[in-house]
Amino acid sequence: MKTVRNILSWVIPIVVGLLIALLVRSYLFQIVRVDGTSMQPNLENNERVVVWKPATIKRMSVIVFDAHGEYPAATQPVDYVKRVIGLPGDTIKYHDGNLYVNDKKVPQSFINEEQRTKGTGNWTLESIAKKYNWGNDPQKVPANSYFVLGDHRSVSNDSRYWGFVHKDKIMGVVKVPFWDNNKAKNNVNDLAQDN
């Protein structure tokens, strides 16, 4: 009996600790690695960030989502980090390096001119959906979906090529961890807005 008690005295704390870790990872936050250069200059390749799961997704939020089922070439679950440009019901267009959401020019001070203009072209949701064959010529972002772009537009594989991200695929909003002392990165979601 004493042996069983001794075994339980170290097994129970381990099991409780694992359950707490699982709950935290499932409902509060988890740490993910940025893979690639599509979010430069704001997030770097191999940088670790926290995904805050209960956060509200706003326009300009940086999110992490599972691209499997959204991006046709993602044949298995893979995390993508992108910036939300369009909320459900939004109209979006890009003209001469300027981004317009609901016919209002969106400030893009978080990226430089080359990142805003190189390889972006002029487009609307309807024109890129038709060009890349990813929708029925949508004029607005559908319900329960989001339109996302990488900050480094010329190298980003994003909604311009494969369409919208469904809300069920989104893990949460990116928070740069407290141990990163770069003030600009700590404010990566300061641009987020409700409308």
Asked whether residue 125 is assigned to any structural domain, the reply reads: yes
Q: Which of 61, 82, 145, 169 is catalytic?
A: 82
Q: What is the pLDDT of residue 190?
A: 62
Could you report the per-residue pLDDT of 76-103, keeping only the tens digit for each?
999 999 999 999 999 999 998 899 999 9
What CATH number should be reported for the domain holding residue 172?
Answer: 2.10.109.10
Q: How many residues does the chain have?
A: 195
How many domains, in total, are found in the chain? 1
pLDDT at 18 over 90: no
- Catalytic annotation on 61? no
pLDDT at 104 over 90: yes
Q: Which of 38, 61, 145, 159 is catalytic?
A: 38
Asked whether residue 14 is assigned to any structural domain, the reply reads: no
User: Mean pLDDT of all residues in the chain?
Assistant: 85
- Catalytic annotation on 109? no
Lowest mean pLDDT among 6-10, 70-74, 117-121: 6-10
Sequence-distant (≥ 6) Cβ neighbours of residue 137 within 8 angstroms? 126, 129, 130
Q: What is the pLDDT of residue 186?
A: 46
Per the structure, the complete domain to which residue 141 belongs is given by: 29-186
